[in-house]
Amino acid sequence: MAASSSFIFISLLIFSSLLYVSEADDYSAPIVKGLSWDYHHKTCHKLEKIVRKHLKKVFKDDIGQAAGLLRLHFHDCFVQGCDGSVLLEGSHGGPSEQTAPPNQSLRKQAFVIIEDLRNLVHRECGRVVSCADIVALAARDAVHLSGGPDYDVPLGRKDGLSFATQNATLANLPPPSSNASTILSSLATKNLTPTDVVALSGGHTIGISHCSSFASRLYPTQDPTMDKTFAQGLKEVCPTNTTDATTVMDIYSPIKFDNKYYVDLMNREGLFTSDQDLYTYKVTKPIVESFAHDEKLFFEEFVKAMIKMGQLQVLTGEKGEIRAHCSIRNPDNKNYFSYLVEEEDQSDLETRAELR
C-alpha cells in the first residue's frame, strides 16, 4: 500500500514538473526590484487568462493585429522605459509620443485592443493592473498565438505620468535606414547585447511595412545587397518612392512567428537596411546564421531578450500610477474621481459581504 502511494506521489511529481516546463519557457535570470513573476496572483489571478482569451478572439478575426501589439511593446519600452507612455494622448504637455514619426505607423487598432483588455481586466479585478503590464502580456500572447514561444512575463510595472518629447522618441527608436553597427551601439545604451539585438530584430518575422520605410533602398538606385528578384517584387508594390502601400516583412511566412526572417536575410531578402545589414556585419552575421539554422535557439534568445526589454526603466512601487484609462493620466481624467467613488462603493460592498 505504502509502496503504491509513494509510486503515485513520485508519478505526480514528475507529471507536474513536466506540466510546468510545457506551460511556459522557464527563465531564471534575476529580475528588477519591484517586479515579480506572480505579482498579480493574489489581486487578479485571472489576469493572464482574460488577456489570452480576448486576444485569441481578436487574432481569429485578424492575425495581423498580433504584429501591431508586439511592435507597440517595443516602442513603449525603448522610449522612457516600459511605462505605457506611448499610450498617452497629447494634452497640455504638448504633442505626445504617438505623434512622433516612428510611432505614426503604429496600428491604431493596437491602442483600441489594449484599452479593451484594460477594461476587461479592471472589470474583473478592479484598478490593480497597469496598462504597461497589459502591453507586455499582450506582446507575449501576440508572439505565442502566432506560433512563437510561450514565456512568463515579470509583472508589477506602473504607468508613467509623462510622455517623452518627439526628439527623445526619435533618439530612442533607430530608423530602418541604420546599419548594424549603429543599431548595436544604439541598443548597447540599453544594455542589449549583439545577440539580444539580432534576436529582437526577429520580431520582423511577422507584420507589415509601408513603402516609405524601405523606398530609399529602391530609389534612385537599388541597394546592391538586395536580391534582384526580391527588389523587383518590391518595386511592383511601391512603383515610386512616394507610393503609400504596404508589404509583408517576412516573405516566406508573414503571419507565422518562426525563424524564417533569418533565412530571408541569408537570401538577401531582408526589407530594411537595419535587417539586412545584420547579415553583412561580421559581429552579427554568425548570430543570424545560428538562428536561421536553429529555431529553438532563436526562440530561447528571443524570450531572454524580450524579458530584458520588458524591464527597461520600469516604474515600480510608489512610482507612477495605475491608469483608469490607458490613454489618459489619472490627474487629467475627468471621470477618474467618479471612478474612485465607484471603487470605494465596491470595496464597501465587499467588506460588508466579508463581515456577514
Name the minimum Å distance from CB 72 to ligand HEM.
Answer: 9
- Which CB, 146 or 327, lies closer to ligand HEM? 146
> Is there a binding annotation on residue 76?
yes
Name the minimum Å distance from CB 340 to ligand HEM.
Answer: 35
| Closest to 180 (Cα-Cα) out of 270, 295, 296 | 270
CB 316 within 8 A of CB 307: no
The yes or no reply on residue 213 touching ligand HEM (CB under 6 A) is yes
Q: How far is CA 10 from CA 7, 21, 26, 189, in A?
A: 5, 17, 22, 48
Instruction: Candidates 71, 140, 158, 329: give the one binding ligand HEM (CB under 6 A).
Output: 71
Q: What is the CA angle 51-55-61, rounded to 5?
A: 165
Q: List residues bridging with 248 in a β-sheet.
A: 208
The yes or no reply on residue 190 touching ligand HEM (CB under 6 A) is no
The yes-or-no answer on residue 75 being catalytic is: yes
Handedness of CA 173, 248, 200, 58 (dihedral sign): positive
Instruction: Candidates 55, 70, 137, 314: give the one binding ligand HEM (CB under 6 A).
Output: 70
- Which CB, 69 or 322, lies closer to ligand HEM? 69
Residues 318 and 331: their CA atoms lie apart, in Å, by 16
> Is there a binding annotation on residue 83?
yes
Instruction: Candidates 117, 180, 208, 326: give the one binding ligand HEM (CB under 6 A).
Output: 208
The yes or no reply on residue 304 touching ligand HEM (CB under 6 A) is no
Name the minimum Å distance from CB 308 to ligand HEM.
Answer: 11
Residue 257 C-alpha cell reads as 512567428
| Of 54, 73, 75, 122, catalytic | 75
Residues 266 and 276: their CA atoms lie apart, in Å, by 8
Number of residues lying near ligand HEM (CB under 6 A)? 22
The yes or no reply on residue 146 touching ligand HEM (CB under 6 A) is no
Q: How far is CA 261 from CA 14, 78, 192, 199, 241, in A?
A: 37, 22, 20, 10, 24
Q: Which residues contact 297 (CB under 8 A, 6 or more apart)?
A: 290, 291
- Which CB, 52 or 107, lies closer to ligand HEM? 107
> Is there a binding annotation on residue 38?
no
What radius of gyration do the chain's Cα atoms show? 22
The yes or no reply on residue 67 touching ligand HEM (CB under 6 A) is yes
Q: Which residues form the catalytic set?
A: 75
Q: Where on the chain is the footprint of ligand HEM (CB under 6 A)?
A: 67-68, 70-71, 74, 105, 107, 174-176, 183, 200-201, 203-204, 206-210, 213, 274
Binding residues for substrate: 174
